[in-house]
Amino acid sequence: MSGLTTSGPVVLSGLEVLIEENLPAFRGRQIGLLANQASVDCRYRHALYLLDQALPGQVVSVFSPQHGWAGEKQDNMIESQSGQTPDGRPLYSLYGETRCPTPAMLANLSALLVDLPDVGTRVYTFAQTLSLTMEAASETGTEIVVLDRPNPIGGLEREGNLLDPDCASFVGLHPIPMRHGLTMGELALFISSRLPSPPPLTIIAVRGWKRQMYFSDTNLPWVLPSPNLPTPETALLYPGQVIWEATNLSEGRGTTKPFHLVGAPFIDPLALVSELETLELPGVIFRPTFFEPTFNKWAGKLCGGLELHPIDRTFKPLLTSLSILEKVLKLFPRDFRLKEPPYEYEWKRRPIDLILGRRSVFDDLARGRQAKEITGQFTKELAQFDKTCQNILLYP
């Protein structure tokens, strides 16, 4: 019975609130749906199925983000193609020939419903897809309707610097921190406030979610929003562990524990864990280990490294992973390498800078500064971000 729920959800997603309360506003309108395989209700029924039942014939086209409509594409810069649904409706990929809807895609739509699960991290590309879609909709006058979902890693904790403009890319377009504490609906309001001519915007809010809640508090079902985020705990690790995408260390892709693991053939697990334990980082235990990826970096090679085990909600994912990087640079400087471009459609700038959102962060670590000292400097800008967000927060 492990993992099975025995009672109804504590929280209702925006999709379920729409079906229960908001259908009259959409009757008789031609609508599109931007969604993926995780766009389900508490009984795992997909948004397209529910909308077709409730508004027959009105969903005339569907759109997919990175990883595809079914979440089938494994890695970064593996595109999905536009085509048709099994019943013949246009299926437009927003991670292929284009990452922004064209006017022709939106031309016959009165509204575009967006039901994309975000994971609370700036670099997760679904927020960028939302932003570019809103920009396109501002040209056509198409209403954007965000069916909101809980932030699975909570709405109180924030970590990281705000994105610098010279690091803007498809893994970050707006000045928000790495762990931002917002829902997709709140992100839409933040984006709208920054657009010179925002489109009509409606948020169908979650019912019952409070900012201190993590995904495990909601009693909602978890469907992996992308292939390498199989569990809510993986989502909690992601705001830090994503940095390894920009290095020659494996982030665990090609194993059963992506983003829980980090390592490479040149890593001595015991030496690395011994160094990390001197830092007394909150809410985490490091387990020295070996693993062998079946694909991606170091496929078929034995990697030494560690597995991260968050043990309570004091865990700070970005501080933790930057601290690991600090110790890797100290212990293994001759073997460590940064990844060269391209990365997420950027062909010149360093991937590590695009992910961290500030060029000085890695350079300061490489010069020997401690991760705790670097992240401590973000306090003032995080406080300013908190102030900026007060007018867009939808939940207590």
- Tell me the per-residue pLDDT of 207-265, one tens digit each, with 9 for 90 and over: 999 999 999 999 999 999 999 999 999 999 999 999 999 999 999 999 999 999 999 99
Evaluate whether 33 touches 63 at the Cβ level (below 8 Å): yes
For the chain, the domains span 14-217, 232-377
Evaluate whether 191 touches 185 at the Cβ level (below 8 Å): no
Tokens read off for 64: 């997919």
Which residues does 327 contact at the CB level (< 8 Å), separation at least 6? Answer: 272, 275, 276
Tokens read off for 102: 């064209």
Amino acid at 164: D
**Do 232-377 and 14-217 have the same topology in CATH?**
no
**CATH 3.40.50.12170 is held by the domain 14-217:** yes
Evaluate whether 134 touches 199 at the Cβ level (below 8 Å): yes
Query: How much is the pTM?
Result: 0.96
Query: Would you list the DSSP string of 215-235?
Result: GGGTTPPP--SSTT--SHHHH
CA 90 to chain centre: 26
pLDDT tens for the chain, 396 residues: list them. Answer: 334 544 667 899 999 999 999 999 999 999 999 999 999 999 999 999 999 999 999 999 999 999 999 999 988 879 999 999 999 999 999 999 999 999 999 999 999 999 999 999 999 999 999 999 999 999 999 999 999 999 999 999 999 999 999 999 999 999 999 999 999 999 999 999 999 999 999 999 999 999 999 999 999 999 999 999 999 999 999 999 999 999 999 999 999 999 999 999 999 999 999 999 999 999 999 999 999 999 999 999 999 999 999 999 999 999 999 999 999 999 999 999 999 999 999 999 999 999 999 999 999 999 999 999 999 999 999 999 999 999 999 999
The CA distances from residue 163 to 139, 160, 350, in Å, are 26, 9, 15
Query: CATH number of 232-377: 3.40.630.30, 2.30.30.90, 3.90.1150.140, 3.20.20.100?
Result: 3.90.1150.140
The CA distances from residue 308 to 82, 178, 247, 258, 281, in Å, are 38, 19, 18, 11, 12
The residue to which tokens 């300061």 are assigned = 364
Nearest residue to 375 via CA among 326, 315, 318: 318
